[in-house]
Amino acid sequence: MNSKITIAGVEFKNPVMTASGTFGSGREYGEYMDLNQLGAVVVKGVAITPWKGNPAPRIAETYGGMLNSVGLQNPGVEAFIENDIPFLRQYDTKIIVNIAGRTIEEYCQVAERLGEVDVDLLELNISCPNVKEGGVAFGTDPFMVEKVTKEVKKYSKQPLIVKLSPNVTDITEMARAAESGGADGLSLINTLLGMAIDIYRRKPVLAMKVGGFSGPAIKPVALRMVYQVNKAVNLPIIGMGGIMTGEDAIEFIMAGATGVAVGTAHFNNPRASLEVVEGIQKYMDTYGVKDLAEIRGII
């Protein structure tokens, strides 16, 4: 049984990726797992200059998940290129770089710079709910989704995956806008906007008051959105949102995902993505699935 997949002409040894922001650039996880086993490492959002992120506290545990308000802290594209790409290139896995910006120009600058280096795909982050400019401010307006996608496409040498926000009334509208802008694929979902209150301090738990909610509690929402988007557009989808096991990943594939990304599960179990790879293989072996295309989008 072989679990190879292809997205925008790039072949992955299996569909399992790390969701941006939950895996750094893989360094911290190297001692727990063999990064060669992953289909791809999707790195934390990278901007044209270093960003220091939001004030703490910026994470909180909730029932079945967590909230984060990191604010896209990152070292900037030059430090990323110098330190992280040589580290990741030691491994036989694809590299997907999540790109962030405050303006369309900044996104374009990052894409242009990354066009000069050895990475496999770009993931356009227009869905981070924790920044005032860029992020979800672009990702909730179909006009802007199309415009940013179209502009960044002009500068990106690698295929461009657009990461969608669930914080909209109709995600298929955003998916269609990204497709019209020339996206080569979609990833969904980013986090749902949420909140937690410390009743003893009578204050929100997060310094920014609200943050992005992720983890197994959001899986049914994510699955429903992948299903709807798959019916609405003709683009490969990387599905994510609460994937903890191989069975969860198979659900996303049946809903229409080509790739699957594991995120919050890493904070509970650093080997989670590897276990998802093994779980998918076990399902395929047990049920005689020779190629994931046989079950993709069958719902």
Mind telling me the catalytic residues? 128
* Local structure of residue 9 (DSSP, 8 states): T
- Choice from 15, 26, 65, 71 touching ligand SIN (CB under 6 A): 71
The CA angle 281-90-188, to the nearest 5 degrees, is 50
Coil, strand, or helix at residue 268? helix
Considering the complex, what minimum distance in angstroms separates the CB of residue 25 from ligand SIN? 14
Show the tokens assigned to 172.
Answer: 């298929």
Q: What CA–CA distance (Å, rounded) separates 51 from 272?
A: 28
Measure the CA–CA gap between 58 and 176, rounded to whole angstroms: 33
DSSP class of residue 55 equals: P
What six digits make up the tokens of 63? 């029932």
Number of shown-chain residues binding ligand SIN (CB under 6 A):
14
Question: Residues 133 to 162: which contact ligand SIN by CB under 6 A?
Answer: none
Which part of the chain contacts ligand SIN (CB under 6 A), choosing from 65-73, 114-122, 175-183, 278-286? 65-73
Q: Are 32 and 269 in contact (CB under 8 A)?
A: no
DSSP 114-144: HTTS--SEEEEE---TT-SSSTHHHHT-HHH
| Residue closer to ligand SIN (CB basis): 14 or 214 | 214
Mask for 12-31, x = binds ligand SIN (CB under 6 A): ---------x----------
Least distance from ligand SIN to the Cβ atom of residue 72, Å? 4
Q: Is 72 in the site for ligand SIN (CB under 6 A)?
A: yes
Q: Phi first, then psi: give them for residue 32, nearest 5 degrees.
A: -100, -20
263 touching ligand SIN, by CB under 6 A:
no
- Contact between 188 and ligand SIN by CB under 6 A: the answer reads no
Nearer to ligand SIN, 71 or 256 (CB): 71
The answer to whether 122 and 100 have CB atoms below 8 angstroms apart is: no
Tokens representing 14? 């299996």
- Angle ∠(37,96,213) on CA atoms, nearest 5: 90
Q: Does 191 bind ligand SIN (CB under 6 A)?
A: yes
Least distance (Å) from ligand SIN to the CB of residue 191? 5
Please, which of residues 33-62 interact with ligand SIN by CB under 6 A? 45
Applying CB under 6 A, among 7, 70, 183, 237 the residue interacting with ligand SIN is: 70
Nearer to ligand SIN, 71 or 259 (CB): 71
Q: Mask: binding to ligand SIN, 194-213, rule CB under 6 A, as x and -?
A: ------------------x-
Q: Can you give the binding site for ligand SIN, defined by CB under 6 A? A: 21, 45, 68-72, 125, 127-128, 130, 190-191, 212
